[in-house]
Chains A and B, each alone.
Chain A
Amino acid sequence: MSLPDRIDPRPPRRIYRWDLDKTYLQTEFDSLRDLVRTAFQKAHEKVAVPGASALIRELSEQGDSRLCIVSGSPKQMRAVLEEKLKLDGVKWDEFVLKDNVGNLLRGRFRALRGQVGYKLPAILESRVHAPVEAEEVLFGDDAEADAFIYSLFADLIAGRVDERVLSQVLEAGGVYPDDQARVREAWKKIPVSDPVRRIFIHLDRLTPPAQFSAYGPRVVPIFNYFQAALVLLADGHLTAPQVLKIAVEMVQTAGHNIITLSNSFQDLLRRGLPLQQAAIALSQALEGPNKLLAAMRPMPDILAAFSKRLAALGTPPPPPPVQAVDYVKLIHHALPRTHKGRGKPSEE
């Protein structure tokens, strides 16, 4: 783990944990060619997912939060990744990268692609130092095992997962004994609390959202960061003007428009997210003599489109019942994509 990039004397009220590749950055590493190209990209050649940097900047505006990045990129890319984040105006508190060379030299080949044995101890060790009351929001993607790992992290520190289940998961996930020990050690140091409010999964691969329903309503698959901003507005992490700023950046820089934004809004409503109040807050934010907001055309049109999308749905169905996450059953979600078991449910 690297030293913090900035030292903030105030204890954080909120912690935002981000993955980088396919969550913050538009990264292609599905083929060897993609991997090589990504490895040699310069900072200015790397492209952030539309709205991601704006969201991070707006979240940090509150002043009492920490940004903790845990990425599967190798440590050798630290300089270029840090430069990219600085170019985007992103300030971080923790930035953990994977020691792939170390894994290779030690013959730990499973660790090269394994996610559970890398991310889970990393975020648990980070949580050890956090105030017990600090809320967490985590951002990952559907390319690897983020939904599984983040949910497991949340349920471990909330005391909803016991030692037996953890052992089964770590074994099935192919986690090396020393990493298993790190997980247990960090876990024991964390006071029991329930700080994880949301887990956003950026649908880089457009995985069907139903595939995440097993993780419960805390996990919110998102097609874009406007959707995350809407949910965070409803959750009280952002204000309506901040959400508008994120939307405007997406309209101006990433080709989003009235249709894509209003469809994104409706998509969340259809999945049962309670966003009606957020829509009202956005509408109110556009009223009044604020010159910045007045310049944000076509936001009023977008809000009108939101109203139509909302009205189009009729009476919403009741939300699905919240059930405990069965991590042993879902372990196949956490295996590397080339693993034989990936994509197949485990035997009952």
Chain B
Amino acid sequence: MEAMVGTQPQPVTIAFDVMGTDHGPAEVVRGAAMLSLESPHIHTLLVGDRTLIDEALAEVKHNGERISVQHAADFVGMDEKPGEALARKPNASVAVAARLVAEGEAQALVSAGNTGAGVLACARHFQLIPGVRRAALATVYPTRSVRGAKEDPFSLILDVGATVEANAEDLVTFAVMGSAYARIISKNDRPKVALLSNGVEPQKGPPRVVEAHARLSEMHDINFIGNVEGIDIPKGTADVIVTDGFVGNVCLKMLEGVHETVVELAQYAYKESLRWRAGLAMLSSGIQRIKDITDWNQYGGAPILGFDKIFIKAHGRSKSRAIANAGKVAAKVVANNLTTAIREGLKK
């Protein structure tokens, strides 16, 4: 998924949930400030504790003409249960931000805070697109292959947790939404869409996957390549991988676990053996290049798809660059009218 977006002439306002991130509000403010300098057409609406925002903003280079603030006294912490927290704190920053987007004060929402709270806030304030029964949370994953005009190394996986039990119709909807999103963000005219299953044969998998396979095979507007297995995710066999929220979430956590284990093993090897240290040193430029190409900071965030408004979920550990890029992704999605693209895709 490509993040660096060219300047669009049409002004767009992106609401940022400033609170509840791993690095604190100042990091989100710095990202928004960065955005105000780099993208004249993007205006940011910072939602959160006004005092914290003002203090952080006053310390960084920014363009005050492109930033406004909405005070929100509360926020949902990373470790809080979303439903309970939002019930207790109706004026939590993410809820206020979602409401402002719903009211048209901004065209999209970016949050690096509690994912569940973000999804729930959207569900409460946004409308599902006609034809969409359940929303899907997407994420991006670095792959061996590149895709689209921008040679994007990231593939899109959805759903990774919004809809735990998806039926065949939901999976088809996810495929349409993921395909529309990949077309816009990766500049990929015909993104390859696949269903995640336990075998490539059409009859493999639970009934909902088999049925979805049959229905997607008949949809000529979708470049459906059939089923893929877990091994195909890092290979980049497909540009959009469709699954239900339960499998997607397990899969995502496993991929993250593998990644962390590999890094830990490398660190262990670096400490324990001089020979391995020398080997890693020799590979360092290559490792750095892989890191640069697959750096999710460059991507910024991933969307929750299915609502009439845009929500980009940035990683909880996002630094300012990732936040700014998430804002650019949101602006690009708005400028390219993703909601209309999904609506039209579902009609076919």
- Interface set of A (CB-CB < 8 Å, partner B): 203, 206-210, 213, 223-224, 256-257, 259-260, 262-264, 266-267, 270-271, 308-309, 312-314, 317
Contact = CB atoms under 8 A, between A and B. Distances in A.
Contact of A263 (B51, B61, B65): B65
Contacts of A317: 50-51, 54
Contacts of A309: 68
Contacts of B58: 208-210, 213, 271
B54 A270 contact: yes
Contacts of A271: 54, 58
A303 B59 CA distance: 29
A270 B50 contact: yes
Most B C-beta atoms less than 10 A away, residue of A206, A262, A270: A270
30 contacts: A206-B61, A208-B62, A209-B64, A210-B58, A223-B65, A224-B65, A259-B11, A259-B13, A259-B66, A259-B68, A260-B43, A263-B64, A263-B65, A263-B67, A263-B68, A266-B68, A267-B65, A267-B67, A270-B54, A270-B69, A309-B68, A312-B69, A312-B70, A312-B71, A313-B69, A313-B71, A314-B50, A314-B71, A314-B73, A317-B50
A260 B68 CA distance: 9
A96 to B, nearest CB: 31
B250 interface: no
B264 interface: no
Contacts of B57: 270
A312 B57 CA distance: 17
B134 to A, nearest CB: 33
Interface residues of B, number: 24
Contacts, number: 65
B63 A223 contact: yes
Contacts of B70: 312
A260 B65 contact: yes
Contacts of B43: 259-260, 263
Nearest to B47: A312
Contacts of B67: 263, 267
A208 B71 CA distance: 21
A206 B62 contact: yes
A20 to B, nearest CB: 22
Contacts of B54: 270-271, 317
B64 A223 contact: yes
Given A312-B70, A317-B51, 5 more contacts: A257-B11, A262-B68, A270-B50, A270-B69, A313-B50
B80 interface: no
Contacts of A270: 50, 54, 57, 69
Contacts of B61: 206-208
Contacts of B60: 208
Interface string B320-333: 00000000000000
A51 to B, nearest CB: 12
Contacts of B63: 206, 223
Contact of A266 (B37, B69, B73): B69
A203 B60 CA distance: 13
B229 interface: no
Contacts of A208: 58-62
Interface in B227-254: none
Contacts of B71: 312-314
Nearest 4 CB-CB pairings of A with B = A210-B58, A267-B64, A314-B71, A260-B65
A79 to B, nearest CB: 34
B105 interface: yes
Nearest to A257: B11
A256 B11 CA distance: 11
Nearest to B62: A206
B18 to A, nearest CB: 13
Contacts of B105: 308
B52 to A, nearest CB: 11
A312 B51 contact: no
